[in-house]
Amino acid sequence: MYSKNFPIGDRGGVLYPIHYYRDKGLHELWDRGVDGFRLPHQHYPLSTEAVTQVAAAIVKQYPPSYFGSQLKDMAPHDWAMESYVDAKNFAYQVPMNTHPTKFYLKTNSQIARQRVALAGYRLAQVLNRIY
């Protein structure tokens, strides 16, 4: 993000300070899927079994049919623009130096899960085309 607070950018949220357990920056929170990649009573780093369980849950919640025509868009520039819009409309809605609200966490964990599912389906398409 570029703003008066970050005239040369915030390095994708790395320099955007928030307070959420061990997370010190917005990027850290989103790397963990805004807690949407965690199972109850599971701590990071996730085991291989836990990752498999989380992935299966995300695929069940967001199957390919959920995304409709988005799956046909194979232009990386468009993917980047989708991420930019989501960052602007969702990720950066937590004020700097604050703790994300329960609403923010709940809403954005679902956005993160959707983005991961869509990215996985697109990656599969790319790999299938190559091989």
Is 20 inside any structural domain?
no
In sequence order, the 6+-apart residues with CB closer than 8 A to the CB of 56 are none
| Structure confidence at residue 64 (pLDDT) | 97
Take residue 120 and report the two structure tokens written for it: 């996985």
Is 86 inside any structural domain?
yes
Which of 10-19, 37-46, 47-56, 60-69 is the least confident region?
Answer: 37-46
Total structural domains in the chain? Answer: 1
| Structure confidence at residue 10 (pLDDT) | 74
Is 23 inside any structural domain?
no
In sequence order, the 6+-apart residues with CB closer than 8 A to the CB of 4 are none
| Structure confidence at residue 128 (pLDDT) | 96
87 vs 10, higher pLDDT:
87
| Structure confidence at residue 4 (pLDDT) | 74
Residue 29 phi, psi (nearest 5): -60, -45
- The CA radius of gyration of the chain, in Å to the nearest whole number, is 16
| Structure confidence at residue 120 (pLDDT) | 97
Is 76 inside any structural domain?
yes
Is 14 inside any structural domain?
no
Give the separation between CA 32 and CA 44, rounded to whole angstroms: 9
| Structure confidence at residue 41 (pLDDT) | 67
Beta bridge mates, 25: 17
Give the separation between CA 49 and CA 94, rounded to whole angstroms: 32
Structural domain harbouring 69: 29-130
Is 125 inside any structural domain?
yes
Is 3 inside any structural domain?
no
Which of 43-47, 48-52, 79-83, 93-97 is the least confident region?
Answer: 43-47
Please count the other Cβ atoms lying within 10 Å of the Cβ belonging to residue 83: 14
Sheet strands (E) in the chain:
17-20, 23-25
In sequence order, the 6+-apart residues with CB closer than 8 A to the CB of 125 are 71, 74
Is 65 inside any structural domain?
yes
64 vs 50, higher pLDDT:
64
